[in-house]
Structure 1
Amino acid sequence: MTEKDVQESEEMNSGEDQEKEELVEEVAETKVAAPKENSDSDQIQKEDQEPSEFLLKWQERHEAFLAGQKEHEKPIEEEKTKSPKNSLFKKKKTAKMDPISVDVKEESHALSKETPKTALPKGLIWKVIPIISTALSFVIICLYFITPIGKMKNIQIEGNTHVESAEIVKDSLIQEEDYVLTTLLNKSGHERNIKHSNTWVKDAKMTYTFPNKFTISIQEYKQIGYVKRGEKYYSVLSSGEIADTETPHDQLPPVYTTIYLTDPELVKDLVLQLATVNQVVLSDIRDIHLTPSKVTNDLLTLTMMNGNKILIPLSDIDFKLPYYEKIAPQLEVVSVIDMEVGIFSYASQ
């Protein structure tokens, strides 16, 4: 309520008091001015029972005054409710607090006091360190394999004697743009490519050394001899295959076996039979000719380094030729050892 409203209410109260005093004075004057003696008792009783005209007017005025005062106080109360800032007496606002939240905070604070923070045990730290280091190493390795640096490969060949290293790399089908990771994953495929591409290669094994080194170990077939075709020599391998590449005459070894067979199937059968014979006997053979007879179509004549000749069927080499080791020391002259039917020897003419 403003000061103006307070002043107006005080003026209204003072006016009301003044009116009440005037009404009291008028009532007193009427009582004094009234005749003390009334001749008629009935008239006195009538006046006592009926209110005077003055009282009726005063009552009407008083009720009108009260109604006006109520109408004046009503907007003041509405103004108080709408704008509490204008009131003279302001109530202090008290912050409402949730009892549940207060309890939770108090409990958490109490728990924090009761249970102090403890450091991680050293045993747990030592257990976590290997896991983290392994994960980081794995990430670094993956990044290495997928970056352009992962295409740089160092390929080394070992174990090869008759095949060039560049040819082996070419046969492996390893490309320069291949990643180290893809080359490693396709390792078995590259090994098969090398074995199937070259008749010399018996086996190929590729190993990997971090970060980019590949080592291809070659195992070659043994060389049994040479097939002579015209003036050219081709190596005959222990697999029974004839090498595709020609061996120049100046690269021939000092001592070697020459096979004069034109049929590749007979050459293969011969090699498979000779594979079971002692290497000492094989190294003593100078040349092999096909000399069929009326009885044996696959009869071979083996000329030894010391001039001895052996007549032996191709199909019987694996079990008859080993006897030559026992017979050769007993021969005093250059002889023919006939093994076509039985085994006997005679001096050559």
Structure 2
Amino acid sequence: MSKDKKKEGKEILEEFKELSEWQKRNQEYLKKKAEEEAALAEEKEKERQTRMASKSEKSDATEEQESESDSKDSKSAKKESEEKVEESEDVKKEVPKEEPKSKEPKKQNKQDKKIEKKPVKEKQVKPKIPGVHIWRAISILFLSLLLLVVSAYLLSPYATMKDIRVEGTVQTTDDDIRQASGIQDSDYTINLLLDKAKYEEQIKSNYWVESAQLVYQFPTKFTIKVKEYDIVAYYVSGESHYPILSSGQLETSAVSLVSLPETYISVLFNNSEQIKTFTSELSQISPELKSAIQKVELAPSKVTSDLIRVTMNDSDEVLVPLSEMSKKLPYYSKIKPQLSEPSVVDMEAGIYSYTVADKLIMEAEEKAKQEAKEAEKKQKEEEKKRLEEQQNKLEEERKKLEEEGNQNQTTRRSSRR
């Protein structure tokens, strides 16, 4: 029995020696591996530093992420190696404790051999894609998709589909505005959006249009909002009435008498320059004074060629130069309370007034003077004509006498011969 016990003790000691040698080798292997991983981590750190020096500021953020991942990898590798060393030490400590208790040393040897055969699997760290590359790829993809959508839209019939409406027309028609805009059915919708200002200017080529605005509503609706010039007066020629616009433009076509407003300003001259001056001066006058004007006509004098006579609704008359109408005509509002009967306010040179009766008397006197002058002139012309006739008769008689004398002389000469 003692011999058997000795043999068993020897076998246990031999097995213990074998296990301790394996554990030593395992420890050496793990230490070498940890050193290699540390060396790799140092190399990666050096490479990162060189890359940091060479790369631009834009890639700083991505490099920091890589360095952090590298440092994490090196730390994790170090931790794994340390854990493996600790495990080997734990195994080393546990084995001698378990050896006396174990009754089957052969099975333990087989397990140790299996542990030796199993290689330690390293975790493969997948490289992270930098965020800059991701954003670049997304931007390129987005631009490509946008280009594809735009190309498909331009090739489709929706690209030229337009629903055009006109608002604000009173004197003109919607067709006139569309024609003035120059918009064609074949024009792209996107062109109308990009060249809005051009089309708005083209619409204003219609002399009725003061301003135009092209408004877009998704998907294909366009609204042309128009503001027309106001009619400030009417040029009257016989029974025909032609609108005068606030822009100074004289409409060439007459309007019907039914469409005329209750009160309006009648203008009895149609010179284009004078009408433009009149509308410009009229625009600077207050609405109250405008509404009091009934008729405007030319009344040039020897001194003032552009003198006009403005007849008011209350039969008052104002003589004022056309070029100074906006400056002088407002004084009529101050003079009006002083006028007890229809009067004439002369603003040609200074400002003074006289009644219409005085005006009629003055006109009658002027007319009488004119008639007297004309009668005197006529009388002088008649006397002159009578004298000329007498002179002509005397001249004719003288010529006859001369002819008779010449004939007598010729007869006498012939008789002598």
1:112/1:213 CA distance change after superposition, 3 Å: farther
**Is 2:196 aligned against 1:187?**
yes
State the Cα deviation string for residues 147-174 of structure 1 (Å, max 9, x = none). Answer: 1122221112223222111210111111
Q: CA deviation at 1:125?
A: 9.9
Between the two proteins, the alignment pairs up a number of residues equal to: 238
**Over residues 155-214 of structure 1, what are the superposed CA-to-partner deviations in whole Å (9 max), with x where a residue is unaligned?**
122232221112101111112222212333333332222212x21112222222222121
- Which structure has more relative contact order (CA 8 Å, sep 6+)? It is 1
Distance 1:139 1:331, change over 3 A: farther
- Secondary structure of 1:324 counterpart: helix
Task: Provide the secondary structure at the position in 2 that maps to 1:242.
Answer: coil
Inter-partner Cα distance in structure 1 for 2:165 and 2:209: 16
- Cα deviation, residue 321, structure 1: 1.0
CA distance, structure 1, for counterparts of residue 253 and residue 275 of structure 2: 17
- Equivalent-residue separation in structure 2 for 1:283 and 1:254 (angstroms): 11
Deviation per CA, 1:97-119, whole angstroms, max 9, x where unpaired? xxxxxxxxxxxxx9993325889
Separation in structure 2 between the aligned mates of residue 318 and residue 303 of structure 1, nearest angstrom: 15
Distance change (3 Å), C-alpha of 1:245 and 1:182: farther
Aligned residue for 2:317? 309
Aligned-partner residue type, residue 155 of structure 1: I
Task: Letter of the 2:293 partner, please give it.
Answer: I
State how far apart, in whole Å, the 2-side matches of 1:230 and 1:112 are: 111
Pair 1:317–1:154, CA change in 2 (3 A): same
**Aligned counterparts, 1:166-245, within 5 A:** 166-196=175-205, 198-245=206-253
Tell me the distance in 1 between the aligned counterparts of 2:122 and 2:263.
Answer: 95
State which of 300, 307, 332 in structure 2 corresponds to 1:299: 307
The match for 2:125 is 115
- Residue 300 of structure 1 and its aligned partner are, at CA, apart by 0.5
Do 1:158 and 1:218's aligned partners in 2 also have CA atoms closer than 8 Å? Answer: yes
CA distance in 1, matches of 2:355, 2:280: 30
Q: Which has the higher strand share?
A: 1
* Structure 1 residue ranges, 4+ long, deviating more than 4 angstroms after superposition: 116-121, 124-139
CA distance in 2: counterparts of 1:271 and 1:147, whole angstroms: 51
The separation in 2 between residues aligned to 1:293 and 1:224, in whole angstroms, is: 26
Is 1:145–1:180's contact at 8 Å kept on the other side of the alignment?
no
Structure with greater Cα Rg: 1
CA positional deviation for 1:325: 2.4
What are the Cα deviations for residues 71-119 of structure 1, in whole angstroms up to 9, with x where unaligned? xxxxxxxxxxxxxxxxxxxxxxxxxxxxxxxxxxxxxxx9993325889
C-alpha separation in 1, matches of 2:339 and 2:200 = 50
Map Cα deviations across residues 272-291 of structure 1 (whole Å, 9 max, x no partner). 22221112211221110101
CA separation in 2, counterparts of 1:234 and 1:250?
13
Question: 1:314: how far off?
Answer: 0.8
Moved more, 135-144 or 155-164: 135-144
Q: Distance in 2 between matches of 1:136 and 1:245?
A: 57
Q: Which secondary structure state, in structure 1, belongs to the residue aligned with residue 253 of structure 2? A: strand
Q: Please report how far the alpha carbon of residue 131 of structure 1 lies from its aligned counterpart in structure 2 after TM superposition.
A: 9.4
Instruction: Tell me whether 239-248 or 305-314 shows the greater mean CA deviation.
Output: 239-248
Range that drifts further, 292-301 or 174-183: 174-183
Q: Name the CA shift for 1:115/1:216 in 2 (closer, same or farther; >3 Å).
A: same
SS at structure 2 position matched to 1:262: coil
Q: Is the 8 A contact 1:200 1:243 kept in 2?
A: no
Which stretches in structure 2 are left out of the alignment for 5+ residues?
1-119, 358-417
In the alignment, the residues of structure 1 paired with residue 217 and residue 139 of structure 2 have an alpha-carbon distance, to the nearest angstrom, of 23
1:207–1:130 CA distance, 2 compared to 1 (3 A): farther
Structure number with higher helix proportion = 2
What amino acid does structure 2 have at the position aligned with 1:244? T
Within 5 A, what are the aligned runs for 1:263-302? 263-302=271-310
1:113 counterpart letter in structure 2? K
Secondary structure at 1:245's aligned position in 2? coil
With the length of structure 1 as denominator, give the TM-score of the two structures.
Answer: 0.60
Segments of structure 1 that go 5 or more residues without pairing to the other structure are 1-109
